[in-house]
Amino acid sequence: MAVTKKVNLYKVANDYIEKILASDRGENSTSIRVLLLDKDTAPIISLVSTQSNLLKKEVYLVERLESETRDKLRNLKCICFLKPSDLTITKLAQEINNPKYSSYDIYFNNVISKSRLERLAEADDLEIVHKVVEVFQDYYVLNKSFFTATNAPNPLLASPAIGWDPAAFQSSIDSLLSFILSLNIKPTIRYENNSKMAFKLANAMKYEIESSNSQLFDNIMPRSITEPMVLILDRKNDPITPLLFPWTYQSMIHEMLTINNTNNTVDLSHLSSVGEELKTVIMNEIQDPFYEKCMYSNFGDLSSRLKEYVDDYKQKTKTNSNISSIKDMKFFLENYPEFKKISLNLSKHMLLTSEIDKQIHQKRIWETSEFEQDMCSTPDLSHHDSDLQELERFLHDKASRDGTINKPIPEDEKLRLLSLYAIKYENHASCKTKDLLETLNNPKFSSFIPLLLKYCGSQARMAGEEGQIFNKLGNNGGSTNQVAALFNNFSRNSNSDNAYMQHQPRLVNVLQRLLKTKTGLSDNLFPSVNTNNTTAKVPRDVVVFVIGGVCYEEVRFVYELNQNNEDFNILIGGTNTLNSNTFINNLIDSST
């Protein structure tokens, strides 16, 4: 079997940027150019390019279409990279009707409708628009195999029964359409049968492929004997993963410090004694070799690799303290910029790991994480009493089992633990969720837990004819309590003896069944909206899209599946990125 070529989303994006910024000037001429962006495309560029890269392409000025203070520079050419929305088309029409630059090359990051194109043509009385091109880059590239929808608001409303937030729905359609066009694939669309939101998105994508934009897909040639697949999942079917504390580097950074998904930066300005250069740091694997090497490392391995990084830096800069000749001085000066770059990057990772370590100890994560991993990596409900006893110890700030008096854990940590207990033991005869809420008397807890169960409790997950989905995925035969069936769907990590990394997301279970069984996923549980004739059930190219957001731990497992399955190429995306705080706040916001 031929090895499937792995897709690097950074390369896909950079190929488009190269196309946008390519110059049509002669070899001996120079052309200083302006790059005009809007609120949607500015983050797309910032995620995959740098100011120095733009300068190499002779782009010396980057402006925003929305800005009212731009100067007229009629001697400069303008490259526009814009989203073809109504607002952008209106502003662009005004721009070319009263131009600030000598000419305009317009690149839209998604499909532009005929009516919007006609509006631009009518405004171009001066004939200064030289080209209009569609380039499909209407999504954020966050990792080599991970993307999210652009500027997507919280997709959730007060109840899964109500469905999508309209703006988030349109954003997801736009980004998914752009994504599959950028990969030049015409996929089969499958979705989770217990999700009305997934059903609606799947059918919208079917319409885009087969009707609205059929001409764009008609000439796409198949890559292999199997068609690519877009698999649409719903976060409500795995509320556990975003609530568990993760233990790999990228995931810990996002959980404790938050990685901004519009520019892959982390704000460290709130930390004491942080220099100006480290107040905002960039977490980008293509710009940071150490981060690329360690982003999926667990905390123990990270410490070892950081020590190696320090030792390597000392070795490279040992001439600093031994400059005894002109030759030594010349070597130092020639390499000083590289030394400084390494030093700054080393300082960045030292600062990040120190802050993570500090918070782990302050919040007593070592204790709480072991407890939550034990509780959530098995479907066994017979441990209810011992789990409840341990939970009460944390919630009520009781002494440790050895009698040690510890400082209380933060309220947010208590809410995470209580949420995990409430989901697992929701239908257990001795479940004490209500009693615990009354005892704690915390308004946020009392409002959030019922909302959580409404969104992803057993009734929400098991609604409709697809009610046995978890039992079947978990090989449970329908005999176990529905909540236990949910946890049966999360397996222990057989490749790890780490007590803090026992849990595997539900996504892993789904993908392993898709890739490692001859029949693939069940058509009843994961139906297709555009089933076509293929010679094999198992696709080689899979795009997963998660409504409600993606956790970096899920991204890590997708990376590992790609590494261990050379015949398959898996890409993952979603409406947004998640950590426990984002997941909780999204649900709270959905009820207001």
Claim to verify: residue 430 and residue 500 sit in the same structural domain:
no
For residue 126, the domain's CATH number is 3.40.50.2060
pLDDT of the residue at 481: 44
Q: By the 8 A CB rule, do 202 and 191 touch?
A: yes
Which of 314, 335, 363 marks a domain boundary? 363
> Domain check: are 255 and 347 in the same one?
yes
Q: Tell me which residue range forms the domain holding 161.
A: 141-243+480-591
Same domain, 148 and 85: no
Tell me, what's the pLDDT at 310?
A: 87
- Both 557 and 583 in one domain: the answer is yes
Is the same domain home to 39 and 131?
yes
**Cα–Cα distance for residue pair 5/94, rounded to 1 Å:** 44
Give the up-direction half-sphere exposure of residue 525: CA atoms within 13 A in the CB hemisphere: 19
pLDDT of residue 538: 79
Does any domain span residue 587?
Answer: yes
Q: Which pLDDT score is estimated for 129?
A: 96
pLDDT at 25: 55
- pLDDT of 471 reads 37
For 276, residues 6+ apart whose C-beta sits below 8 A from its C-beta are: none
Residues 455-459: contacts with CB under 8 Å, at least 24 apart: 455/156, 455/159, 455/160, 455/236, 455/239, 455/587, 455/590, 456/235, 456/236, 456/237, 456/239, 456/423, 457/423, 457/426, 458/426, 458/427, 458/482, 458/483, 458/486
Q: What are the 10-residue block averages of pLDDT along the chain, 592 residues in total?
A: 74 94 61 93 94 91 94 94 96 95 96 94 94 96 96 64 81 96 94 93 95 89 79 95 97 97 93 86 94 95 91 71 55 61 89 95 94 89 93 87 79 97 95 96 95 91 47 35 51 65 92 82 89 63 96 97 91 96 90 72
CA distance 270 to 279: 8
Q: Does residue 399 sit in the same domain as residue 424?
A: yes
Same domain, 501 and 564: yes
Same domain, 121 and 102: yes
H or E element: which one contains 353? helix 326-362
Would you say residue 271 lies in a domain? yes
pLDDT of residue 475: 35
At which of 363, 390, 424 does a domain end?
363
Task: Pull the structure tokens for residue 195.
Answer: 């999700």
Asked if 14 and 109 sit in the same domain, the reply is yes
In this structure, are 61 and 115 located in the same domain? Answer: yes
Q: What is the pLDDT of residue 235?
A: 94
- The answer to whether residues 119 and 155 belong to one domain is no
State whether 490 and 583 are in the same domain. Answer: yes
Question: Which of helix, strand or coil describes residue 141?
Answer: strand
Count of the separate structural domains present in the chain: 4
pLDDT of residue 329: 52
Nearest-angstrom CA–CA distance, 209 and 177: 8
Which secondary structure element, helix H or strand E, spans residue 366, and what is its range?
helix 365-376
Which residue type sits at 139? Y
CATH number (domain holding residue 176): 3.40.50.1910
Q: Residue 375 domain-assigned?
A: no
CA–CA separation, 378 and 503 (whole Å): 9
**Confidence at residue 493, expressed as pLDDT on a 0 to 100 scale:** 60
CATH of residue 294: 3.90.830
Domain boundary among 464, 497, 528: 464
User: Which one, of 126, 127, 70, lies nearest residue 100 by Cα?
Assistant: 70
- Looking at the domain assignment, is residue 2 inside a domain? no
